[in-house]
Copies of this chain bind each other. A is one copy, B any other.
Amino acid sequence: MSNEDCLCMNLRSAALQLSRSYDEALAPAGVSANQFSLLNYVRTLDAPTVKALAEASGLDRSTLGRNLRVLEKQELVFMQAGSDARTREVALTPAGRQAVRKAAPLWQSIQDGLLDRLGDERRAQLKELLQELTSAVVRA
């Protein structure tokens, strides 16, 4: 066994390195790549619950709850009880919308740099390969 051959560690390592770069690029907006992504899910979906966000992002519900708590503490999102009293619906605060506006061009910039480097064809290849790997592995 060689670590360089492991598909899992290959992906894991690449994801961490890319995350560091995106985090650095988004730092002036005060959010990490992960937080920016979550803010965008909240913005895009309609008053999503914790569960809806977990499903959209493919993360565990408890993870989402904790990630949301961080954004809540920074007053980028707020939560209120839904019509179903078990659920909590999430929405952006004005500061949250502002953070998204500030981060969006920073994200676009680093994203475009990578897309230019890859080109359309290889970008499509990458998407296809990641989908193949994850669909090979979905849990029942």
- Once bound together, how far apart are the Cα atoms of A130 and B44, in whole Å? 29
Q: Does A74 count as interface, using CB distance less than 8 angstroms?
A: no
Residue among B6, B58, B113 making CB contact with A17, cutoff 8 Å: B58
- Number of chain A residues close to chain B: CB under 8 A: 54
Are B1 and A8 closer than 8 Å at their CB atoms?
Answer: no
Are A1 and B107 closer than 8 Å at their CB atoms?
Answer: yes
Q: Does A27 count as interface, using CB distance less than 8 angstroms?
A: no
Q: Does A95 count as interface, using CB distance less than 8 angstroms?
A: no
Q: A34-42, A65-73, A84-92: which lies at the B interface? A: A34-42
Residues of chain B within 8 A of A40, CB atoms compared: 1-3
Q: How many copies does the complex hold?
A: 2
Q: List 29 A-B contacts (CB under 8 A).
A: A1-B40, A3-B44, A3-B57, A5-B111, A6-B37, A6-B107, A6-B111, A7-B18, A8-B15, A9-B34, A11-B11, A11-B15, A11-B130, A12-B19, A12-B34, A14-B130, A14-B133, A14-B134, A17-B138, A18-B134, A20-B137, A20-B139, A21-B139, A114-B133, A117-B136, A118-B129, A122-B129, A126-B126, A126-B133
